[in-house]
């Protein structure tokens, strides 16, 4: 029913809990396509030890980047729906079922995200990313960037095949894709926490590079639509945001900066549920039996 696509590069420290969270899904009719993007560690062999026939591993000696590997995985997918996930994130058990049920109930929607609980590598909760729920709000300010967490995406396979990732974008591939497709697609969000999103810190150099690449992307978009003056204003805004971020990191306020991007209020039940999930997927197991449809 759904193909989960994942690229890994030297993810041995995080990939087993990530894959275990897929194996533990309440929806059992899935395949996981794992593309090993030139890893120098034993990431792929760790996954192979799960011995689950629904997992397909493709090895590459050369590293080509996330966009290239995701396009490759889309080409290999055999399902009507495709779900994204990174090799260091954690799916809630009902994630795939909730998103597939939503897409089937709302056939006009091409791509659906969800809320994501943001955590550190130790499982410490930092907050929740809460995207807008309906399409018009999601795309209301495209040049400001989209609050639409990439690892939570689940959508029609036909949409992913029609709108491929730009392989010239080493980062922010998701933002460029949303910007390019917003006028021709329908997006939505399942208003529930369905994924744990690992975030151990903010890289100033990566942030700068991402803003430059995204600025180029919306400059190209503006040139096609005749909105260059607006694009100039947004580029200036991106520079101002980056300067503020740089100043915050410079005075060691990156913790504050990170938490500024999330909602920090969670209910007691939400916290307890996350901690139970973290313990479950982090527990080493000798044998992991596959669930067959």
Instruction: Express each pLDDT in 45-85 by its tens digit.
Output: 999 999 999 999 999 999 999 999 999 999 999 999 999 99
pLDDT tens, residue by residue, 211-250: 556 566 655 665 566 555 555 565 555 555 555 555 554 5
Lookup result for tokens 């197991």: 285
Q: How far is CA 29 from CA 13, 55, 206, 248, 281, in A?
A: 27, 12, 37, 46, 20
Packing angle of the helix pair 15-23, 268-282 (nearest 10 deg): 110
Give the mean pLDDT of the chain.
Answer: 86
CB 21 within 8 A of CB 90: yes
pLDDT tens, residue by residue, 121-180: 889 999 999 999 999 999 998 877 899 999 999 999 999 999 999 999 888 899 999 999
Query: Please, how many CA atoms are within 13 Å of residue 207, restricted to the half-sphere of its CB?
Result: 19
Between CA 235 and CA 143 the distance in angstroms is 9
Q: Which CATH architecture best describes the domain 2-200+263-282?
A: Alpha-Beta Complex (3.90)
| Radius of gyration in angstroms for the set of CA atoms belonging to the chain, rounded to a whole number | 19
pLDDT at 201: 61
**Angle 61-62-66 from CA coordinates, rounded to 5°:** 115
**62 three-state secondary structure:** coil
Give residue 202's pLDDT band: very low, low, confident or very high (50, 70, 90): low
pLDDT at 234: 58
CB 291 within 8 A of CB 55: no
Q: How far is CA 252 from CA 19, 200, 201, 208, 256, in A?
A: 34, 14, 11, 17, 9
Nearest C-alpha neighbor of 2 from the set 214, 153, 132, 181: 153
The domains of the chain are located at 2-200+263-282, 204-252
Q: How far is CA 127 from CA 98, 165, 271, in A?
A: 21, 29, 10
CB 111 within 8 A of CB 153: yes
Please give the helix or strand (H or E) that residue 102 lies within, else none: helix 95-105
CB 142 within 8 A of CB 132: no
End-to-end CA distance of the chain: 10
């Amino acid at each position: 029913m759904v193909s989960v696509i994942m690229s890994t590069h030297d993810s041995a420290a995080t990939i087993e809990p990530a894959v275990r969270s897929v194996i533990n899904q309440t929806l059992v009719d899935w395949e996981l396509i794992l593309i090993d993007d030139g890893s120098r560690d034993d990431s792929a062999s760790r996954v192979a030890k799960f011995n689950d026939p629904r997992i397909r591993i493709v090895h590459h000696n050369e590293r080509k980047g996330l966009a290239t590997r995701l396009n490759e995985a889309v080409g290999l997918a055999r399902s009507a729906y495709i779900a994204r996930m990174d090799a260091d994130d954690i799916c809630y058990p009902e994630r795939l079922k909730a998103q597939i049920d939503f897409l089937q109930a709302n056939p006009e929607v091409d791509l659906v995200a969800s809320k994501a609980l943001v955590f550190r590598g130790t499982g410490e909760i930092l907050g929740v990313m809460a995207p807008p729920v309906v399409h018009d709000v999601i795309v209301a300010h495209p040049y400001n960037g989209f609050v639409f967490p990439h690892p939570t995406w689940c959508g029609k396979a036909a949409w992913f095949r029609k709108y491929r990732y730009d392989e010239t974008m080493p980062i922010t591939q998701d933002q460029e894709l949303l910007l390019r497709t917003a006028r021709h697609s329908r997006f939505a969000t399942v208003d529930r926490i369905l994924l744990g999103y690992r975030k151990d810190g903010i890289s100033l150099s990566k942030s700068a590079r991402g803003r430059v690449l995204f600025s180029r992307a919306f400059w190209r978009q503006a040139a096609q639509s005749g909105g260059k003056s607006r694009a100039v204003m947004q580029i200036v805004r991106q520079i101002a945001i980056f300067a503020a971020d740089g100043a915050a990191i410079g005075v060691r306020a990156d913790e504050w900066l990170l938490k500024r991007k999330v909602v920090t209020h969670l209910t007691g039940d939400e916290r307890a549920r996350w901690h139970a999930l973290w313990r479950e997927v982090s527990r080493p197991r000798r044998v992991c039996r596959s669930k067959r449809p």
